[in-house]
Structure 1
Amino acid sequence: MFKKILLTLFLISSVFSFSQTDTSNNQQNKKIELLNKKVDSLISEQNGVKTKILEERINQATETITNQSSMISSFGTLYTVITIILAFIGVVLPILTYQFGIKPSRDALKEFEEKSEAKFNNFLKERRVKEIDNAIENLKSEDNHIRNNSLNFLTYNSHQGLNEDQVLKIINIINNNNDENFLVQLLGCIVNEKNENLKKYFIEYLNTSQEANSTMYYCLKFFSYYNYSEYKNELKIFISNNNTSTALSIIFSFFPKNNIIDLLNDHNIIDILSSDALTFVHGYNFGKSNISQWNMSEEDYEKTYLYERLKEKFTPVN
């Protein structure tokens, strides 16, 4: 019985003790839970503060980066503008320098050179004209030394050309002088001038000359500048008056090559050639020995009236 009472008391004590322990554990759990909540709250607050600080720093960094980007962009724009301005200056400045500095100077210099050259050339031309006029005037001198010096001067300078008045003065001197050597040298000074007064002089020579002299050479040389039709009638008169092998030798030797075909086909002239003249031209092969100096081919020569006439006259009759 006593044991039962003790056992009952033990059980009640155990239950009571367990009940108190359970109650204590519940209180502790509540405290722990409360502490956890406070800790979580503190952690949340700290995280919120950190997040806020981090956001502020990020915003500051973003603002700083934006400001720096704007500044860099501004510098880039400024650099671009400066580069464009410098490039523009680099391109435009040389052009402006050339247009308003170098080109006007060059144009002015070129104009000065042209004017200077023109003035200098005019000076030389006027001086040469005066020297030639003076030399022509001295050709009339009675002093042989002065006359010969003037003739030499004209001989070495006539290639530069003479004006019409100078040519006419020389022709007048020729017409009033009988020294053939002197006249021939004067003709050599003016023969290259295509001048109407000189043409009249040589036409008159062909019409009136009774002798084939040195003047005939200059006459034929002068007419090389003209068409054959302009002097063929006068040439016919000359050959009629000088129908000799000597005259024909001069004519065929110095006749203008550009007119030789016209001469060899001129019936009016070939038909008046004397027998001696034809014999001279014929030689031994119908005149073919002359074609080299006439710059003709044998084929072209055989088509001429002269060849036909010589062949007709000198072909042996069977």
Structure 2
Amino acid sequence: MRKHLLLLLLFISVSVISYSQSSRARGSQPSNNALLDTIKSLRFELKANSEKQEWKNTVLEERLEQASETISNQSSLLGGFGTVYSIVTLVFTIGGLLAPLAVYFFGIRPYQKELKDLEGYLDKRLEKYLTNNRQQQIEKAISDLKGPNYGLRTNAVNFFQLTQHLGFSDTQIFDLISMLKDPSIDVDTKTSIAYAISNCENRFSTEFFSDAVNQYYILHIRIAAIRYFANTGIENHLEVFRKALRLAEDKSEEFRILFSYLDTKSRLILINDGEFINELNAASLAIVKEFWPAYKQSWQISEKELKESYLYKVSEESKKE
């Protein structure tokens, strides 16, 4: 009895389980189909996306390749331009260096002697022109000095003062000295003429100024005469100054005037000239020695040069006497 009951229960259990599984299978069938459709759709989209991505990659690779080729072509073109520019620059540089040489060897050098001769000719012509022009100006100035027009005389005096360093011819100096001796010419004009010719050594000037050193009526002409011998070399005209000191009534004053308008070189020559210094008497030597400090400064002579001079030796000997 018990066995039949167990078999019945087992049969009922099996039947219930079979029915339940059959019901589940029938209920889940539509869901499985939808899932399969979704999977198929995803696979299709995935495949489509994959194909689209492959197409994009292909297009991108093609564009990159084109860009690379463009850059390469431009680089080659720029390199070519750089080479051409370098060649052109080199050519122009070489041409710039060779052009002056070519001009010199083919243009200047063959005519260098002719150009030099032409230059010398032009210089001579210019010098001749300037000389002739100055001579004409001097002649006009001399004529104006002799004339009655005060303005023209003033211009002539200024002209001589500004151009005296250029010198004068012997004839012109002779004419100017003749004016210095002319009593009708005023003192100011004579003074300007004397200063103008005091820088030019000339036999007429030497003769005139040798006498002018001993003339006392026009001081400025005396000064010009003293300057003339200092400018032309006092060592060649010592007798002029010896005579001036010999003829002077106030020898110490004459000594002072002469030394006031001489240069240092001329002073050194005179204070060591025995014949000149011996013209000074004891009283004059005493006065000269009294002014040693002032003389040393104004003469621009050092203490050593003064004490080694003949003048200092004679003054010391006269002091002992």
Same fold (TM over 0.5): yes
Asked if the contact 2:274–2:310 (Cα under 8 Å) also holds between the matched residues in 1, the reply is: yes
**CA deviation string 1:8-51 (max 9, x = no partner):** xxxxxxxxxxxxxxxxxxxxxxxxxxxxxxxxxxxxxxxxxxxx
Q: What is the TM-score when the length of structure 2 is the normalising length?
A: 0.60
| In structure 2, distance between residues paired with 1:129 and 1:96 | 46
Q: How many residues align?
A: 224
Alignment of 1:72-111 (within 5 A): 98-111=104-117
Query: Residue type of the partner of 1:136?
Result: I
Confirm whether residue 130 of structure 1 aligns to residue 153 of structure 2. Answer: no
| In structure 2, distance between residues paired with 1:270 and 1:141 | 46
Confirm whether residue 217 of structure 1 aligns to residue 217 of structure 2. Answer: no
The 1:124/1:260 distance shift into structure 2, 3 A limit, reads same
Greater displacement, 272-281 / 236-245: 272-281
Consecutive unaligned residues of structure 1, counting only runs of 5 or more, are 1-89
Match of 2:187 among 180, 185, 209: 180
Asked if the contact 1:212–1:247 (Cα under 8 Å) also holds between the matched residues in 2, the reply is: no
Aligned to 1:43: none
Asked if the contact 1:220–1:254 (Cα under 8 Å) also holds between the matched residues in 2, the reply is: yes
| In structure 2, distance between residues paired with 1:158 and 1:272 | 35
| In structure 2, distance between residues paired with 1:258 and 1:184 | 25
Q: What is the TM-score when the length of structure 1 is the normalising length?
A: 0.61
Confirm whether residue 264 of structure 1 aligns to residue 264 of structure 2. Answer: no
The 1:269/1:211 distance shift into structure 2, 3 A limit, reads farther
CA shift, 1:105, in A, is 4.2
Confirm whether residue 289 of structure 1 aligns to residue 294 of structure 2. Answer: yes
| In structure 1, distance between residues paired with 2:182 and 2:166 | 26
CA shift, 1:191, in A, is 0.8
Consecutive unaligned residues of structure 2, counting only runs of 5 or more, are 1-94
Alignment of 1:1-318 (within 5 A): 98-177=104-183, 179-206=186-213, 208-210=214-216, 213-244=219-250, 245-274=252-281, 277-283=284-290, 287-314=292-319
| In structure 2, distance between residues paired with 1:94 and 1:219 | 59
The 1:212/1:171 distance shift into structure 2, 3 A limit, reads closer
CA shift, 1:241, in A, is 2.2
Asked if the contact 1:265–1:304 (Cα under 8 Å) also holds between the matched residues in 2, the reply is: yes
| In structure 2, distance between residues paired with 1:94 and 1:269 | 69
The 1:280/1:144 distance shift into structure 2, 3 A limit, reads farther
Aligned to 2:59: none
The 1:104/1:268 distance shift into structure 2, 3 A limit, reads same
Taking only aligned residues, the RMSD between alpha carbons, in angstroms, comes to 3.1
| SS of match in other structure, 1:292 | helix
The 1:180/1:240 distance shift into structure 2, 3 A limit, reads farther
The 1:164/1:266 distance shift into structure 2, 3 A limit, reads same
Aligned to 1:36: none
The 1:106/1:272 distance shift into structure 2, 3 A limit, reads closer
Query: Residue type of the partner of 2:307?
Result: E
How many percent identity over aligned positions? 22
**CA deviation string 1:234-276 (max 9, x = no partner):** 2222112224243222112222422323311333332332455
CA shift, 1:174, in A, is 0.6
Aligned to 1:10: none
**CA deviation string 1:196-246 (max 9, x = no partner):** 21111112224x525682222222221124454532222222112224243
Asked if the contact 2:282–2:318 (Cα under 8 Å) also holds between the matched residues in 1, the reply is: no
CA shift, 1:110, in A, is 4.1
| In structure 1, distance between residues paired with 2:283 and 2:149 | 46
| SS of match in other structure, 2:298 | coil
Asked if the contact 1:210–1:241 (Cα under 8 Å) also holds between the matched residues in 2, the reply is: no
Determine which structure has the larger helix proportion and give its number: 2
Asked if the contact 1:136–1:150 (Cα under 8 Å) also holds between the matched residues in 2, the reply is: yes
| In structure 2, distance between residues paired with 1:262 and 1:229 | 7
